[in-house]
Amino acid sequence: MKFKWFKRLFGFNVQPTIDTTQNIDPISDNGNTDVDTNTADSYSYAIGESIGKQAIPLVDNTNKQYYGYSIRTGGDSNTINSAPGIVPINGRIVMIGLGASLPKTVFDEFIRKSKGIPDNVKIINCCIPARDINRWNDVHDKTWWQVHDILESNGVNPDEVQIIWNMHDDLRASSNNFPADALVLCDKFKTLVDIYKSQFPNLKQIHWSARPYSGFSTKPKHDEPKGYHNGWSCRFLVEHNLENPSDLSIWMNDTCYLWSREDRPRLSDGFHLIRNDFKEDGIHLTTSGDSKVSDLLVNYFNQFNFYNKNL
């Protein structure tokens, strides 16, 4: 099997193109005022401010802006309704999860809670711990050997994969300049999409989830606003895809959004991760955290015919 996919694994290499056309100057800072009660239409942050207690989740529709950008996800209900239909290949529909260790435990719990889905749907966890976006974007990295090994061990051919759920971040990035860094990560996501298409030629849907709140971590490579800005990278990607459908040429959505404020539930759905939902490192989720996030995934995918047998 490995020899069969050698050309696919090593015959593709693409470098990200950095978008430098959107270097927008931040709006003047409004101090430590809570943005939910701030009458200003746009806001930014001073160094040392707690974004986890002030930021507005992208799924909570408001008339606010962040550094001049309206607060919303790239996709919406219309995007979901436009998702391409999934027709079984070799009698089954294959969905996989991709990402590092945090999404791995979430997806394991999601699979456990997906017992009632149609019998011809096969869901496989292909997340690989300790792999950030830079490893996934290198087709020569052993990450891709591992993914194909997981598929083979489950009796699945890569040509059968039609649906991907994924979560990624750049742990090498050390700054938090917005929107510049979010756009750099967005470009890396675009590179990954092209790699996905080369590895899985019958891929039809890519579902992006932003990282959960990361402010409980003491490590700069994880700390906020990285988690919040990760959602903006997903938003910029999906927005680009909707505005330029012939560029990446595949359906994508980002409304399976996992970030919530540190101090309160989201307005849109009440979703909220608290400190006890995270392990001691402040990044990986406990059993309760995995359960909350996997419930969100189940509710999200119930909107799609391939997953919800009642539709």
> Tens digit of pLDDT for each residue in 110-129?
999 998 899 999 999 999 99
| Cα distances (Å, whole numbers) of residue 85 to 147, 209, 275, 306 | 25, 21, 39, 8
pLDDT confidence band for 16 (50 / 70 / 90): very low
| Cα distances (Å, whole numbers) of residue 186 to 62, 190, 191 | 23, 6, 9
pLDDT confidence band for 36 (50 / 70 / 90): very low
The yes-or-no verdict on residue 136 having pLDDT over 90 is yes
Q: What is the model's pLDDT at position 38? A: 40
Over the stretch 274-311, which tens digit does the pLDDT of each residue have?
999 999 999 999 999 999 999 999 999 999 999 985 54
Q: What is the model's pLDDT at position 18? A: 33
Over the stretch 244-267, which tens digit does the pLDDT of each residue have?
999 999 999 999 999 999 999 999
Residue ranges per domain, the chain?
Answer: 6-301
Q: What is the model's pLDDT at position 34? A: 37
**Backbone phi, then psi, for 37, in 5-degree steps?**
-110, 0
- The dotted CATH code for 6-301 is 3.40.50.1110
Query: Which of 28-37, 56-65, 83-92, 216-225 has the lowest average pLDDT?
Result: 28-37
H or E segment and range at residue 94: strand 93-98
Percent pLDDT > 70 in the chain is 83
Dihedral through CA 59, CA 65, CA 66, CA 69, nearest 10? 90
Q: What is the model's pLDDT at position 115? A: 87
What would the mean pLDDT of 39-49 be, rounded to a whole number? 54
**11 vs 228: CA distance, rounded Å:** 35
Q: Are strands 161-166 and 93-98 parallel, antiparallel or unpaired?
A: parallel
Is the bond leading into 225 cis (omega within 30 degrees of zero)? yes
* CA–centroid distance for 260 within its chain: 14
The helix/strand/coil state of 195 is helix
Percent pLDDT > 90 in the chain is 75
**173 vs 133: CA distance, rounded Å:** 11
